[in-house]
Structure 1
Amino acid sequence: MKKLIVLLLLNICTVGMAMSQIVADSVQILFQPGSSRISPISNGRALQAFTDKVRRCADNGNLDRVLVRAYTSPDGVSTVNLRLSADRCQSVADYIVSNAGVDPDLIDSDPCGIAWDRLRRLIASDHHVPGRREVLDIIDYTPVWVVDTHGNVSGSRKQRIMELKGGQTYRWLRQNFFAGLHYAVVELYVKRPENESVSKEDKPLVFESLQADKMIDTAFSQMKTPAMPTDRMMDRMPRPRIADGGCMAPRIALKTNLLYAAALLPSIELEWRLGSRWSMGVEGNLAWWKRREEHKCYQLAVTSVAVRRWFRRGSLRKGFYTGAFAGAGLYDFENGRKGYRGEGVLAGISIGYLWPVGRRFAIEAEGGGGWMMTRYKEYIPYEGHHLYVRTQNLNFYGPLRLKLSLVWLLGKRACRDKKRGA
């Protein structure tokens, strides 16, 4: 009854969506257990034909969006499986962006983790499953995580299945069904013409998706466990070309501020991704120039930490971001007549934009302002000595950050296999 209510609610919510978009095509992609790499051997011409259709729809202006849903088997740690399904979504999205040339923002990802629904349908259609009735009851009535009255996890659906018949049922499922649960479903949505009305024969999107899943399940139930390519075969396979230097979401970026370099203040910044929209960076600036005979000194050392929130998915890739920064440093400025030596702290907010350039490089522009507090000693240089004048404090509110940086993108996430998970 609960499933029926949920299905009806989904149907009502998607009717409005169906009036403006149509599922024009779909394709399924098989993965090797534990891997997020797309195998041409397993997927053949179907993926290429789907990508060609996406490109044609984009060229005609009919492309609305592409939805990627990825799954794994119950083997492995559940949190790792969820991360693996997200990596598979990312890998498929990268492939489509690279080979169809579409905007990455038109691709939506839905990492679904363990494919419990498909596993249940496969079990229900095969009477050779040991403990078939019991395992179906576990999937139907045991939540993914069992929580006690204190909110602590006391068990799980997977644990119940592993304990059934001393592990015999779980071993049978692993041998016969689990290989078919490593897959992704990709759906192509196109725009409905404005003058085309929705007829009674038009099916809501939720039923189209369910029908596609049933067709895939039927194909799995009629064939044996697919033979997956070996590691040696995978190493020999040509990898798909990936846009934006290899991945949509590089883990690390190495930067240098060209404006600071022009001001003889070399800088280097290391930024790494914290999530799909968050990143963190550590920056250091150092200038240590001094001319003793002329009593001129330009010495500055500053280090700062910044946290950024990206407007688009895939931080460190491209687009706008906002951030907050804080730092500290010390300095010694002397022009031959006066000198100022001190230390200070600063904090503020910033906004910036990143433009990809080539496969591994990008240009970043950023500006920001906030508050700076410094305490310094004023002195007069005289015959190789510094004559102390006074000590002062200064609070400054205004612009504190101006960057035009060259960025080197590192750590391509979708370009390597995941060794853990199922």
Structure 2
Amino acid sequence: MSVKRIFLSVICLSCFLSAHAGQGADSVRIYYRAGYRYVEPGFRDNRAALDRLVRYIGEARSAGRLERISIRSYASPDGANRANELLSERRADSLSSWIVRHGSVPASLIDRQAAGIAWDELRAQVAASGMLYRDEVLDVLDNTPVWIFDEKNQVVGGRKQRLMDLRGGEPYRYMLREFFPDLRSSVVVTLYFRSEETPESTQPPAVAPPPAPEPGLKPAENDEPQPATVPDTAAAPERTDEAGEAIPALIGKASPEAKGWTPRLVVKTNAVGWAMAISNVAVEIDLSQKLSLNIPVYYSAWNYFSGTTKFRMLAAQPELRYWPTRDRRLFAGVHFGVASYNLALGGKWRIQDHDGMTPALGGGVSVGYRMPLGRSDRWNVEFSLGAGAYRLHYDKFHNEPGGAYSSTVRKTFFGVDNAAVSFSYTFDLKKKGGRR
């Protein structure tokens, strides 16, 4: 953080506290993934910040000095304006619920404010930076309203579109990569009465709230009503964000979400397998922001109520998965499969891998979708379907107790090789990368 930015932040916090003379304050900043509203302790610096927040609250409550807690939540400009306003509201609500649970304070002490897109802080970041075309970006931020209307009150442009069009989108791409991740945040200020015995004990703010707007900035415009549709006034974009708004393509740079990425470990089990009396468990681990490795194991060693109906097997199906979207919901995968088997479905024949030593070998592709269960995003349900080809070498027996051997068959199977409705729990692993 530059000296200028620290100076602006300290001035801003001083102004914020000027109306609370005779009181002290501690503050922390909590960060969010793009498009996420839930508090994630394992993301970026959140765990340390949340620990400090709980400590501040506990000390103030023990001393009987806690007055109130103020939350101000923000979103970055990428995405639809209205969606970002709702996202900042939900971030404030989610953080408030977290504080009530972990700080043991009544909700009545918490003030929440959804600030929408953090235009003011973006301007402060730009002003304190040495980015290319800095003055032109500041001119847009200072003099372009959030929405531009024509004489028929139709939207024909706006601040975000001007930034995206400026210099072919190069400044916007830079801000998307360098500044936007810091805008997806909430600032929590804990206000309390200053102790007369130890006035010097008040801690300095850990993270200052966004700077107040400098002369010329028009923050009130962020509260203007959002139009139903926004005409496309620019050339065809190279890609779009989650809400469908255009974003200039990132060229030769890592995505902003790659900074601060936290790999995860997922443990799951397939309900479809259990419905067939096949015990199973799977482990999935992130290899990168877009790739993960899923390894399920299936085992069954019993009959279905009779000696002529059975689905005995030991199988594994490692799968490499690709997650194309930011929210990591939809995935496509390629897998390898190996299975020893002894199958009889009540008909004339029972089949078993040749000599019990020749498992089925093959592989295929799959698609799936994962969705959260509840607010924490830890519990999920996952739907997947796969198909592939397998080389089979098995023996046929008459399907009866002690049934005689009939023949040996070699064939290739084509068809569905995976159908799953899995329930999972997610663990955070050691954080990789991330700006502090």
Please give the TM-score of this superposition, normalised by the length of structure 1. 0.44
Structure of higher RCO (CA pairs closer than 8 Å, 6+ residues apart): 1
Would you tell me which structure has more helix in proportion to its own residues?
1
Please give the TM-score of this superposition, normalised by the length of structure 2. 0.43
